[in-house]
Chains A and B, each alone.
Chain A
Amino acid sequence: MDALSAISVTAGSAMRAQGDRLRVVSENLANANSTSQTAGGDPYRRKIISFENGTDERTGSAIVEATSTERDESAFTLQYEPSHPAADENGYVKLPNVNPLIEMSNMREAARSYEANLSMVENARDMRRQLVELLK
């Protein structure tokens, strides 16, 4: 397979990975207020996605893969709200360790990276088209 076709494999894998990343961001943002069902229990724990370098068997080019989604082990924020069903014996409710600001900046980064890889695919396609134009 030629280099220009291999680019679409590499950039495609990156686009898929950024899509996964955006999915995790969306999960975090959606659960930014999800508390525990039991009194004093833990709320939603923020998810973190990590990427890994891999190799595509067919073309031998380097690709990126989303390996695993780990949980963010940082501390929960406590809020005094005795009437809440999830409040512990002191009246404190544990809120998820999701910071909307971080999630939004993560989202922007994922979108930008997706865009960059998309324009890479577009560029490779354009170059291939120009090459074929030579035959005409």
Chain B
Amino acid sequence: MTDFSAVRSTYVQAAYAKTVQGERSTGPAAPDGKDFSQMVANAASQAIDNVREGDSMAMKGLTGQAGLQQVVEATMAMESTVQVSVAMRDKLVEAYQDIMRMPI
């Protein structure tokens, strides 16, 4: 019994060391040198820009400064951005909840 747990802990330690090492080696060499949170932040700000553009175009359309087709195009771009960001958010929240529910 003790042997088995000792073996397991050495395996776990080896795996952990490997992961840390792997992370260190891939960390700085990640594409564009950006980490995940930065990527998410960039995507989110881009999405917000898209939504704002759709919003302002809709206002312009209502006041007669933009054509109907422009309004429709901007609104459709906004729609697709919102769809993607909502789906992404759901996925992220789901992942977070999965981790929170994980039995320790």
Contact = CB atoms under 8 A, between A and B. Distances in A.
Interface string A82-117: 000000000000000000000000000000000000
Contact of B73 (A8, A19, A132, A135): A8
Interface of B: 69, 73, 76-77, 80, 83-84, 87-88, 90-91
Given A12-B69, A15-B69, A16-B69, A132 B87 contact: yes
Contacts, number: 27
| Interface secondary structure of A, over-half rule | helix
A72 to B, nearest CB: 28
A47 interface: no
B69 A136 contact: no
Contacts of B83: 129, 132
A76 B31 CA distance: 68
Interface string A1-23: 00001001000100110010000
Contacts of A5: 77, 80
